[in-house]
Structure 1
Amino acid sequence: MTDDPNDTQILIDRLDQLLEEERRALLVGDLDGIGALLTAKEALIDALNAAGHAGGAEIGALHGKVIRNQALLDGALQGIRRVAGRMAAFRKIRRTLETYDESGRKTVLQGEIVHEFEKRA
């Protein structure tokens, strides 16, 4: 990359646009779209670092957008983890029955769900 300020501004504008696309994808839950944008975002950030642009208002605004998107991504990951935990709990409930005997001891009854289909004429 050259030291041309116009080239640097083009990189800043592209990264700004990409961060907005990433934000939209995060807000609608388009995880595939987020993954596709990651490579392009990394390449633009590397190009900006190579250009040696020290700072300024443009970089500060980009930094704010990166922080905002990271918070959105963290929230999405937390939601995914919670859903995975709930699904694991539901699977456990389907496989076992926990009950207590007359003296208050917990008893776990293992069960297997049999999915059978009977055809009748």
Structure 2
Amino acid sequence: SAEKLAAAADDLKVLGAAKVETYVANLADLSTHTALIEAGKAALGGIDAVLIAHGVLGDQKLAQQSVAATLELFNINAISYISLITLLANHFEAQRQGCLAVIGSVAGDRGRAS
């Protein structure tokens, strides 16, 4: 949510970040990834480090019954990561430096009944 994002940005500023930019985005929409990265580069004067940490838990029963629901979850929790990582890795390779950190969905730490 925008509120949680703003709180995280405030924490980074308290911890000494010179500048923090935040964007609310639907990362499942892969067509927005390039523009999002370009906006970050423009706002910050370049990108040296990125933390990718997003995802959803989803509805287990629905995912078991619906291929479409399963693919939607896979798009959010896997494909969107692959897209962002590829674009950012290419950017860092071109500038010959950069740090890319990735945290999988927090849903991965929750058990599910089988």
TM-score, reference length from structure 2? 0.34
Higher RCO structure (Cα 8 Å, ≥6 apart): 2
Rg comparison, structure with higher value: 1
Give TM-score scaled by structure 1 length: 0.33
Q: As a proportion of its length, which structure holds more helix?
A: 1
